[in-house]
């Protein structure tokens, strides 16, 4: 693998693919050696990565912005598609979210709702609630969290959690009800980019190609993602 024997890959990975990377850690380390991984939202990572970061995994929009800024090298490498979903604490009744009116009723009936503070799903939900004219009614019961906001729901702090399905799937103690209705859905492409001054470019490319491979596909799907 060229430089893989000596490489310690410095990786910045969105929470949207954290479940996938954590599940595949053993396989990834056996192929690529030591990994130094920093997880966070696309916004958080975009503020911290440097041209020396070997691999950056975040939304396609985020990758495009870092390529335009010269932090990452072209091209963008698309990995997976993600939808936003709703979850409840394990064992709780599943509310109806099959239509937009049913979804709105579910939000109104919930005593509390958790969302991500800076993640794509949380920012999208906040915008949709404003667009639907529900901000005054629902705002007081929506709680924003860093990282896996769904953990609050699993621990009984909120009635429902709304986040990327790939961020709901790794959280124990949750039942995923399903994706949001199309009218309020947002599909995110998670992509990778290589640091413009990566010292281990060959290994970094191979790392991303592994995440895009047939070998990794079952893990992507188990985490609520579809190959891009």
Question: Per-residue confidence of the chain (228 residues) as pLDDT tens digits?
Answer: 455 455 689 999 999 999 999 999 999 999 999 999 999 988 899 999 999 999 999 999 999 999 999 999 999 999 999 999 999 999 999 999 999 999 999 999 999 999 999 889 999 999 999 999 999 999 999 999 987 889 999 999 999 999 999 999 999 999 999 999 999 999 999 999 999 999 999 999 999 999 999 999 999 999 999 999
155 and 201 in a single domain? The answer is no
Confirm whether 1 is domain-assigned.
no
For 214, other C-beta atoms within 10 Å of its C-beta total 7
Pairing state between β 113-116 and 142-145: parallel
- Could you report the per-residue pLDDT of 74-105, keeping only the tens digit for each? 999 999 999 999 999 999 999 999 999 999 99
**Residue 151: domain span:** 84-184
pTM here is: 0.87
Confirm whether 2 is domain-assigned.
no
What CA–CA distance (Å, rounded) separates 19 from 202?
24
**Largest Cα–Cα distance in the chain?**
58
137 and 214 in a single domain? The answer is no
Confirm whether 23 is domain-assigned.
yes
| Total of domains in the chain | 2
Closest CA to 197 of 47, 10, 2, 21: 10
179 and 217 in a single domain? The answer is no
């Amino acid at each position: 693998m060229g430089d893989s024997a000596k490489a310690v890959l410095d990786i910045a990975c969105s929470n949207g693919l954290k479940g996938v990377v954590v599940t595949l850690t053993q396989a990834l380390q056996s192929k690529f050696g030591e990994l130094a991984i920093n997880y966070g939202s696309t916004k958080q990572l975009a503020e911290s990565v440097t041209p020396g970061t070997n691999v950056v995994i975040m939304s396609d929009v985020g990758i495009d912005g870092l390529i335009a800024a010269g932090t990452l090298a072209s091209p963008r490498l698309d990995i997976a598609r993600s939808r936003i979903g709703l979850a409840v604490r394990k064992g709780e009744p599943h509310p109806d979210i099959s239509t937009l009116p049913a979804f709105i009723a579910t939000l109104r009936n919930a005593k509390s709702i958790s969302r991500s503070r800076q993640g794509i799903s949380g920012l999208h939900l906040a915008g949709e609630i404003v667009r639907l004219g529900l901000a005054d009614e629902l705002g007081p019961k929506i709680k924003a969290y860093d990282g896996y906001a769904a953990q609050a729901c699993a621990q009984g702090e909120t009635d429902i959690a709304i986040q990327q399905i790939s961020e709901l799937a790794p959280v124990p103690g949750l039942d995923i009800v399903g994706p949001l209705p199309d009218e309020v859905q947002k599909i995110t492409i998670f992509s990778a980019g290589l640091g413009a001054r990566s010292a281990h470019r060959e290994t970094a490319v191979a790392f991303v190609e592994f995440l895009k491979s047939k070998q990794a596909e079952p893990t992507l799907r188990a985490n609520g993602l579809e190959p891009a």
